[in-house]
Structure 1
Amino acid sequence: MTTPFRAGFAPVTEEITAFDLQVTGRIPAELDGRYLRNGPNPLSLDDPNASHLFLGEGMVHGVRLRDGRAEWYRNRWVRNAAVAERLGEPVRPGRIHEGMDFAANTHVIGVAGRTLAVVEAGARPYELSHELDTIGPCDFDGGLPGGFTAHTHLDPRTGELHALAYFFGWEHHQHIVVDASGKVTRTTDIPIADAPMVHDFALTQRYVVIYDLPVTFSMEHAEKGVPLPYAWNEAHGSRVGLLPRDGGPVRWAEVDPCWVFHTVNAYDDGDQVVVDVVSYPKRFVDARLDLGGTPKLERWVVDVTSRKVVRTVLDDRPQEFPRIDERLTTMPHRFGYTATGRDLVDVIHEADIALEDLPDTAFDNTLIKHDLVAGTQQTRALGKDAYVGEPVFVPAGEAEDDGYVMAFVNDPRRGAADLVILSAQDFTGEPVATVHLPARVPLGFHGSWLPEV
């Protein structure tokens, strides 16, 4: 029986360039840009870390849309020094941080005309060309003092890009602000004990929202050779921090122990801060990510004055990879989009179990559109055994859900992937367009729509 590893996670072995892709339906003419997605794709299965989902070398997959056509598809490994050397290529120039040279595998974003593959935990981004060839590590022209982050948040009002970096060798987290020109304009060190992991954060118009949760660096696991030595730490408290964007100390509020990989969005509401997140009961139990319970979509309301947090479950189905119309980042939002499955998130970030041992029911074919004002959901199944990735919203009009939802979807009949484009306002209807790719796209992490300027 085929396992999700072989059907969905198994790495591809070739870099492909294909032009004039076949399309079912009609690509909207206003879509002029690149849909890019990053994810781990081990260069060699002989590598002892090849079966560790977090540690495979990054591979970026991209589709260029223009004038109603799918002009090209490309997939390219991110060339850190080790990948370049193994491929017999010159090492790309650029400064790395504290010996952390990682083929960034978590997200791919656009910053001031640059395309950056990003990852967390002390490594710097890698800059890519428009055609996804690696240029080299990026420190924003000398402005980045350390590493960067896997998840940035852009304030659409100011054009500032915010990041929250961490590194096991630091006794702080670091808030970083990059302006619209790509210049680092401010860094702020936030003292944090125990070197906790912080995969994501949130941003409002007044605050940077920091999750200080009980997954911390474990020297014990590091000495045992655990590839990703972070573990659930009962002794480390759980709290949410509000760092004023206009300066001042962090305001901390205690929260019941939990873990957060991803934020939906956050905004200010008078003397409260509203944060929508995907929350797990625990994670990294014994340094494993397949233990600790399934996540729920939650709303956290943080009272700035009393420093109390009220948590409300919005949807108790297992789900992950939340996205919104990012024009509303820092502002009240109505709609959100997630990916779900039968047991999806129990294993999607697995750590220590063998990938080939994942259960057959691990991944499903369903996306969810949440109406967070009405408290309703719409689900869109994308075919039997069609494993679907993160849904990315692309605006087309002024209304919050006037646009398209894009995702890579496995097509088991072809043994290849499609880029499926749904109408956000007709979420359960037939796709507006399906771009048929010439190759399989392994299940991976995060992506972006980068419109042409």
Structure 2
Amino acid sequence: MPDHSRFRTGLSAPVTEEITAFDLPVTGRIPPELAGRHLRNGPNPLGADDPGSHWLLGAGMIHGVRLRDGRAEWYRNRWVRSREVATTLGEPWPGGPVHAGKDAAPNTHVLRHAGRILATMEAGPLPYELSEELGTVGPCDFDGTLGGGFAAHTKADPRTGELHAITYFWSRRHVRHVVVDASGKVTRTTEIPLPHRPMMHDFALTERYVVLFDLPMTFSKAAVAAGHRLPYSWDPAQQARVGLLPRDGAPADVRWFEIEPCWLFHALNAYDDSDADSDRVVVDVLRYARSYEITTMDGPGPVTFERWTISLTAGTVARRQLDDRAQEFPRVDERVLTRPHRYGYSAVVGELNRNTLTLDGAFADAAFANTLLKYDFATGTTEAHNLPRTAMAGEAVFVPRAPDVSEDDGYLLAYTHNPERGAADLLILAAQDFAAEPLARIHLPARIPLGFHGNWLPDE
């Protein structure tokens, strides 16, 4: 079994306590229109967890800051109470449905849909519903309408209010496109046969299509035999493809386009780009050029920011490099999902397993750096917001200043590691003055381990 202990040290090391702190100190001024909760999910293994278990499978912990009336009212961090976590903490499990015997404390994303706050994870487990104070309500199958597990990444259509997901599970020879309507019920499930059982961490959505990434990371019996809890490995014999599923189409309607072998974790956004002479779909992705060994988290090769233009007329995928800087966690103004976007935001990363920092400023294993990026695709320009050298910035989430303002008129919120305090800050940046000093630094009472994704949940 591989040793994943490098993800238990330095800034990746789990915290051991749940904290509630009120009236957080702030440097600068919190915009008074920011009323809601900024939540982030990530793995935070409990002491009872197997030290050799995969980083991507550690028990999820939600970190949150509550903003209102220009104040940072509270910070909370809470483990998601799966059955195993509740037992380890000596608490009763909240109970609820479980898919295929696979229960886990979701550690990848946190979002709100149809009034529910949901922590999500891929490859089988159901999402867990949380309270507004980050307590665990229990597993969620959307009132019995979800027939199977769910996904780490979802896409919310801002026009219809639907939530889309691509779900997979190692025992299935297909992936599923699942649509949850605005009331929180699953209204459509489409099974796309894929006998090689690929891992699909993310997908993209346009007004007409679901964009599928069928890449050479597939189910591996050898990985199962070796005891890997995430039984996928790189298969050089498997053709890499991008698929377009019409949003109201059947499995046979998927059109596949072959591409060079690669891996990707995340897409920024996608949109239809059609005129009288052509029929195209544009997808912005972060592409890893070489094979990726998911069981060990080794060998991804360089990552570049690319624009893929899929021509339905020519049957081709044209690639154009947008930036060669290593980066991850791309985000866009959620109001323009499925449609053309002018702006995008991301976090610079070091090459995994090198060029990153521990708590004391020495270099060690991790994957984050001290710079956030903003792209203006109309002008072709990029801005950087640089933190001190030994600081680290996670995913930056865009929040519009008001519901009806133009794209990029708002704020970027990001949790960062403040090396001077050995604890986390929540930064608030003005999106239209991106490189300037933060509008506010909210000083949290504890460190937030390096983790994954989050969202701004405005007051409803």
Q: TM-score range by the shorter chain?
A: over 0.9
Q: Partner of 2:262 in structure 1? A: 258
The 3 A distance-change label for structure 1 pair 286 and 94 is closer
The 3 A distance-change label for structure 1 pair 347 and 115 is farther
> What is the alpha-carbon distance in structure 2 between the residues aligned to residue 45 and residue 419 of structure 1?
30
Q: Partner of 1:224 in structure 2? A: 226
How far does residue 229 in structure 1 lie from its aligned partner after superposition?
A: 1.9
Q: How does 1:264-343 map to 2 (within 5 A)?
A: 264-270=268-274, 271-285=279-293, 287-343=295-351
**Aligned counterpart for 2:415 among listed residues 387, 408, 412:** 408
Describe the SS at the equivalent of 1:413.
coil
How far does residue 290 in structure 1 lie from its aligned partner after superposition?
A: 2.1
How far does residue 254 in structure 1 lie from its aligned partner after superposition?
A: 0.7
Q: How does 1:116-265 map to 2 (within 5 A)?
A: 116-248=118-250, 249-265=253-269
The amino acid across from 2:307 in the alignment is R
Contact 1:4–1:363 at 8 Å: present in 2 too?
A: no
The amino acid across from 2:400 in the alignment is P
Q: Partner of 2:385 in structure 1? A: 380
> What is the alpha-carbon distance in structure 2 between the residues aligned to residue 380 and residue 347 of structure 1?
19
Describe the SS at the equivalent of 1:343.
coil
How far does residue 167 in structure 1 lie from its aligned partner after superposition?
A: 0.4
**Aligned counterpart for 1:429 among listed residues 433, 436, 443:** 436
Describe the SS at the equivalent of 1:83.
helix
* Alignment RMSD: 1.8
Provide the TM-score with structure 2 as the length reference.
Answer: 0.93
Contact 2:168–2:200 at 8 Å: present in 1 too?
A: yes
Describe the SS at the equivalent of 2:166.
strand
Contact 1:57–1:77 at 8 Å: present in 2 too?
A: yes
Comparing 374-383 with 266-275, which one deviates more in the overlay?
Answer: 374-383
Contact 1:301–1:309 at 8 Å: present in 2 too?
A: yes
The 3 A distance-change label for structure 1 pair 291 and 334 is same
Q: Partner of 2:35 in structure 1? A: 32
Identity of aligned residues (%): 60
Q: Partner of 1:48 in structure 2? A: 51
> What is the alpha-carbon distance in structure 2 between the residues aligned to residue 102 and residue 334 of structure 1?
37
> What is the alpha-carbon distance in structure 2 between the residues aligned to residue 419 and residue 431 of structure 1?
10
> What is the alpha-carbon distance in structure 2 between the residues aligned to residue 112 and residue 294 of structure 1?
39
The 3 A distance-change label for structure 1 pair 166 and 136 is same
The amino acid across from 1:160 in the alignment is E
> What is the alpha-carbon distance in structure 2 between the residues aligned to residue 108 and residue 49 of structure 1?
26
Comparing 32-41 with 373-382, which one deviates more in the overlay?
Answer: 373-382
> What is the alpha-carbon distance in structure 2 between the residues aligned to residue 346 and residue 170 of structure 1?
36
The 3 A distance-change label for structure 1 pair 389 and 175 is same
Contact 2:310–2:318 at 8 Å: present in 1 too?
A: yes
Render the CA deviation track for 1:269-288: whole Å, top value 9, x for unaligned.
Answer: 01100000001013433843
The amino acid across from 1:293 in the alignment is G
Q: Partner of 1:364 in structure 2? A: 369
Q: Partner of 1:352 in structure 2? A: none
The 3 A distance-change label for structure 1 pair 360 and 338 is same
Contact 2:199–2:217 at 8 Å: present in 1 too?
A: yes
Render the CA deviation track for 1:264-306: whole Å, top value 9, x for unaligned.
Answer: 0000001100000001013433843220302110000001133
> What is the alpha-carbon distance in structure 2 between the residues aligned to residue 88 and residue 337 of structure 1?
41
Render the CA deviation track for 1:329-380: whole Å, top value 9, x for unaligned.
Answer: 00000111110134358799xxxxxxxx973685321000011221111111
Render the CA deviation track for 1:172-211: whole Å, top value 9, x for unaligned.
Answer: 1000001111111111101112111000000000000000
Q: Partner of 2:17 in structure 1? A: 14
Matched residue count: 442
> What is the alpha-carbon distance in structure 2 between the residues aligned to residue 361 and residue 321 of structure 1?
15
Comparing 382-391 with 94-103, which one deviates more in the overlay?
Answer: 382-391
> What is the alpha-carbon distance in structure 1 between the residues aligned to residue 317 and residue 82 of structure 2?
42
The amino acid across from 2:29 in the alignment is R
Provide the TM-score with structure 1 as the length reference.
Answer: 0.94
Describe the SS at the equivalent of 2:84.
helix
Contact 2:38–2:454 at 8 Å: present in 1 too?
A: yes
**Aligned counterpart for 1:395 among listed residues 392, 400, 425:** 400
> What is the alpha-carbon distance in structure 1 between the residues aligned to residue 158 and residue 49 of structure 2?
44
Q: Partner of 1:354 in structure 2? A: none
User: Does structure 1 residue 68 correspond to structure 2 residue 70?
Assistant: yes
